[in-house]
Amino acid sequence: MACWHLRLHPDAATSPASPAAATLATQVVLMPLDGRPPCLQLVRDSGAMADIDVVTPPGELRDYYSQPGDTMALRRWLQDNLAGRQAAILSIDQLLYGGLLAAREKEASPEQIDSLIAFLRTLHAAHPDVPLYAFSILPRLTPQDTIDGYQERRDLIAYSRLQGRAAAGEPVDQDELQRLHDAIPQGSLQRYLAHFEENKLLNEKLSQLAKEGTLHLLVLGQDDGERYSIPNIEKEALRQYLRDNSITEQQVFLTHGADEIALSLLARWQNEVLGRTPRVYTDCDQPASGTRVMPYMAVSNEETAREKIALLGGETAAEPHAADFTLFFTARDNEKDAADARPAAVQVIGKALRSGRQLALVDLSKHFAAEETILPLLLQQKLPLLQLCSYAGWNTASNAIGTATAQASLYLGARTLQSDDETAYRTEYQRIRLLANRMLEDYCYLKDGISTVNDSLKKAGYTNTADLNLEQNYRWANAMLQRDMQEESRRLPYLPALQTPFTLSLPSGTNTYRLKQLKCETSYPWPRTFEIYLETTPYIEQIQPEGNAD
């Protein structure tokens, strides 16, 4: 047996690009939405899979939790580091406010917005050959933290939902709407509504930059959406503005989600460079999984999938045989789904993988519960699960669907360019690392481990797991996290699906491998338990054909 092992992980979420990535000739600058792993580390790791070095600003300039990034220093860094790069993916929230959390709380004056607009024009003029892909996040339904009264926050959310229903032409209780209006302190209501007005002004000016060509593409994302709310009113007003100004979807693209947008833009840039239009067939375990509207979403999973495919420059395929890959998703709700469609779906997925079909798997749960997901069923079957193009089971549907779709597109795009075994194997190894990362975080942690950590903290009297004490329980929480994730990383390789041999197609031929061992490094990147920094190191061994063993 021949053993292969590549170490590609950085030492921490704030580290610069790893040595392996720094040797890549293709470089794309990323101004991340914030410093959380899904917005930064995941994009870098996915880029490495496609032989793309994703270059990011140093940690001392970026945001950290509630501390905003240094917007002026970030702009200077961007000016100094754009030359010679192939593209730039820019978070407007980072450049204007200092990150997503800061954008939810800070206010930007018209003069500050105009200063950013002027900066982007200057940046494009200085580097006209570097396409600028920008994205901006619409304010969410939840009021700013500076509006901290319990009842007024509840009233504002209820008021926003009723206003959204009224704007959509749905019947509403006008007396209740008026009661809420009168009950909310007028200063709080004005501050809440002013946030949307400010964002409207910003996005209209950004849309004009896209129309004139300063921005190659602008993406406007709706974060933590609902079907009826004031954010939806703003989104529809933006759609009308785009129509009135003859601005096309190729210039400004509206989507649901936030954290996954930079990754989708990286895949879109790759597809534009390669002249690819990925064809994606969508499938699910049951019709309800497609039509279901998941928590924090304003649209169904089917609509989200179509949107994410279009965002990366792809198109839907009518049949699986006409597709570059299949996007398969499950979205079980144990309270509503009478029959369990997952066992049949396991057979469908296993058959697809054994036949060599390219498959991206999205594993959603209405209640963020392990018993609603399909991964534990798959892991107990003897099927080549490590041949998946991608896997994602984030708690928010837009994040998971966007991540799985973009990673599959990046992987298959990279395969079209590879002519030597070393490059091809590096891409395959990175794909397997990403699969292991997502299985450990999205399933083992978010569906199980997080509850263990939170329950232990709460029993000890630490009730606010969203803002841990850095001197005491933050360290304890990290110790619990590391213990649990290391146990899971030791357990996973012995499950039937990960013990099953899988094949890798290299330029010189197809070889068979198996996962021998899995190690992981993990910690909390911010002083809260909601997300984790996690990097795995898979140890893979090649299985020699009979008669060729050493």
d(CA 330, CA 361): 8
296: left (phi over 0), alpha (psi -120 to 50) or beta: left
What is the per-residue pLDDT across 257-306, written as a single tens digit (0 to 9) for each? 999 999 999 999 999 999 999 999 999 999 999 999 999 999 999 999 99
Task: Give yes or no for residue 41 having a pLDDT over 60.
Answer: yes
Beta bridge partners of 89: 30, 133
Q: Is residue 52 part of a domain?
A: yes
pLDDT score recorded for residue 548: 57
Q: Is residue 128 part of a domain?
A: yes
Q: Is residue 94 part of a domain?
A: yes
Which distant-in-sequence residues (6+ apart) come within 8 Å of 301 by Cβ?
A: 284, 289, 290, 291, 292, 293, 294, 329, 331, 364, 397, 401
Q: Which domain holds residue 238?
A: 30-143+191-274
**Burial of residue 50, with CB atoms counted within 10 A of its CB: 0-12 exposed, 13-18 middle, 19 or more buried:** buried
Could you tell me the two tokens for 277? Answer: 């239009």
Q: Is residue 135 part of a domain?
A: yes
pLDDT score recorded for residue 412: 98
What is the per-residue pLDDT across 224-266, written as a single tens digit (0 to 9) for each? 888 899 999 999 999 999 999 999 999 999 999 999 999 999 9
Q: Is residue 324 part of a domain?
A: no
pLDDT score recorded for residue 24: 65
Task: Give yes or no for residue 537 having a pLDDT over 50.
Answer: yes
Averaged pLDDT, 534-548: 86
pLDDT score recorded for residue 461: 87
Q: Which of 61-70, 345-354, 369-378, 456-465 has the lowest mean pLDDT?
A: 456-465
The structure's pTM equals: 0.94
Which stretches within 107-185 are classed as H helix? 110-126, 150-167, 174-183
| Residue 529 phi, psi dihedral angles, 5° rounding | -100, 0
Q: Is residue 308 part of a domain?
A: no
Tell me if 43 sits within 8 A of 17, measured CB to CB.
no
Averaged pLDDT, 16-26: 48
Instruction: State CA 101 to chain mean position distance.
Output: 16
Domain count within the chain: 1
What is the per-residue pLDDT across 434-459, written as a single tens digit (0 to 9) for each? 999 999 999 999 999 999 999 999 99
d(CA 349, CA 347): 5
Q: Is residue 241 part of a domain?
A: yes
DSSP state of 360: E
| Residue 516 phi, psi dihedral angles, 5° rounding | -95, -40
Q: Is residue 116 part of a domain?
A: yes
Task: Give yes or no for residue 10 having a pLDDT over 50.
Answer: no
d(CA 28, CA 8): 18
What is the per-residue pLDDT across 463-499, written as a single tens digit (0 to 9) for each? 888 888 877 788 899 999 999 999 999 999 999 999 9
CA-closest candidate to residue 38, choices 263, 290, 355, 241: 263
Task: Give yes or no for residue 16 having a pLDDT over 90.
Answer: no
77-83: long-range contacts, CB 8 A cutoff, minimum separation 24? 78/29, 78/31, 78/123, 79/123, 79/126, 81/29, 81/55, 81/57, 82/29, 82/123, 82/126, 82/127, 82/130, 83/127, 83/130
